[in-house]
Amino acid sequence: MRYIIIKILNILSKKILVKYNPVVVGITGSVGKSSVKKAICEVLKDKYKIASNENYCKTDIGIPLAIIGAESGGRSVVKWIKIIFLAVKMIIKKVEYLEILILEMGVDRPDDMKKMLEIVKPNVGILTNIGKFPPHTKYFKNAKHIAKEKSLLIKSLKKKDIAILNCDDDIIKDLSENIRPEIISYGFNDGSIIKAGEIFSGDKKWKIESGLIGMSFKISYNGTTVPFRLPYALGRGQVYTALAASAVGIHFGYNLVEISEKLSNYSPLPGRMSLIKGINNALIIDDTFNSNPASATSALETLGKLDVKRKIAVLGDMLELGEYCERGHSEIGKLVPKSADLLFTYGKRSKIISKQAEKSGMKKDNIFHFDDLDDLIKLLKNKIKSDDVILVKGSRAMRMERVVAEFIK
């Protein structure tokens, strides 16, 4: 039944795209897709009629639902029939349709991207990053295999289209060679077309101001440099989000000053470096949406740069790493002593993080490993002090959001 519904919706959604011809922005990568999508919407929403697959799954049936503009029918046959009739009506009659469709095109398994590209042909393709230890390698032979699958988005673009690439990522830089569309590269490195400067105008540390952490940095493009302020965002990853959104904004006719103004209202999605005031006047960095070595590295580096009395890292297992499981957890363990004063880990894989943190110089008395999340929460409550900053992160299946819920003020 599901297969038949998907088949019908795929056919209908392709006909809708042919009829209304919206500009399609496709986003893929290992980290940051949802954040980039939200930031792009923040930039474009006042001037264009836009829609995204924000409320849908990122693959399979989510793409045609986003094109039709319908919620999932779930297990209801009646609801699915109504969706099909809605799509047919859009094809037969002329309705007011969107100008720009922004799609998050996630890849979990081989051929995911290929299936999505059979439905939709993006005009703008964004590749956020791949990383040394990409997630979902459980279903792929190796990192090169998953990079090849994600790169199909960029390779599908025509010469008149635009590829927006994070060229700080070495794998993406290699993939950018010999592709047809125009490239807008972004990053911190020299050579990027859209380049970010030092965060906080050269200051080495982020600071907590009036209980709210924010970031300032500059973005340069085509000889113009403009200051950006993200009062609700934290971390280098969110600067990459601003860079990608800026590239899209420039493509659609905005200047950097306008983009900076739009993004001053941007706030991260829940569980993506979100800032929450906690008990005992502590500050919680909620990064519980998911975890992999790339995002965990970014989160820990951000924690390490905060100018506060004491920092606590609460880390759960990183799942779906396949052959990179041990190496990925070990790499994170090496970073912890530079970033945190106390370490709490949860799960059998994160034990590797604890062991490596001790080997890398962290005192054993400051490391606490748990196989039960309730036990972790209980001890953390006893350890927490006024003005502590607590980073909570782990893969979605580890339910690390339970830790955050216990410490919300």
Per-residue pLDDT of the chain (409 residues; tens, 9 = 90+): 778 888 999 999 999 999 999 999 999 998 889 999 999 999 999 999 999 886 556 556 889 999 999 988 888 999 999 999 999 999 999 999 999 999 999 888 889 999 999 999 999 999 998 877 666 566 777 777 888 899 999 999 999 999 999 999 988 888 777 788 999 999 999 999 999 998 863 334 444 444 455 788 999 999 999 999 988 788 888 999 999 999 999 999 999 999 999 999 898 888 988 888 888 888 899 999 999 998 899 899 989 988 888 999 999 999 988 888 999 999 999 999 999 999 999 999 999 999 999 999 999 999 999 999 999 999 999 999 988 999 999 999 999 999 999 998 7
Domain match, 121 and 166 both: yes
- Assess if residue 205 is contained within a domain: yes
Domain match, 249 and 371 both: no
Domain match, 200 and 326 both: no
Q: How many domains is the chain built from?
A: 2
pLDDT of residue 204: 40
pLDDT of residue 137: 60
pLDDT of residue 205: 46
State which residues form the domain around 231. 2-263
pLDDT of residue 368: 98
pLDDT of residue 133: 64
- Residue that finishes a domain, picked among 228, 263, 298: 263
Domain match, 254 and 303 both: no
Rounded Cα–Cα distance for residues 159 and 155 (Å): 10
Domain match, 250 and 137 both: yes
Rounded Cα–Cα distance for residues 403 and 28 (Å): 29
- Residue that finishes a domain, picked among 230, 263, 296: 263
- Assess if residue 165 is contained within a domain: yes
What's 303's domain CATH number? 3.90.190.20
- Assess if residue 269 is contained within a domain: no
- Assess if residue 212 is contained within a domain: yes
- Assess if residue 324 is contained within a domain: yes
Domain match, 141 and 42 both: yes
Domain match, 259 and 279 both: no
pTM: 0.85
- Residue that finishes a domain, picked among 206, 228, 263: 263
Domain match, 256 and 279 both: no
Domain match, 245 and 294 both: no
- Assess if residue 268 is contained within a domain: no
Domain match, 232 and 327 both: no
What's 135's domain CATH number? 3.40.1190.10
Domain match, 183 and 321 both: no
Domain match, 40 and 66 both: yes
pLDDT of residue 207: 46
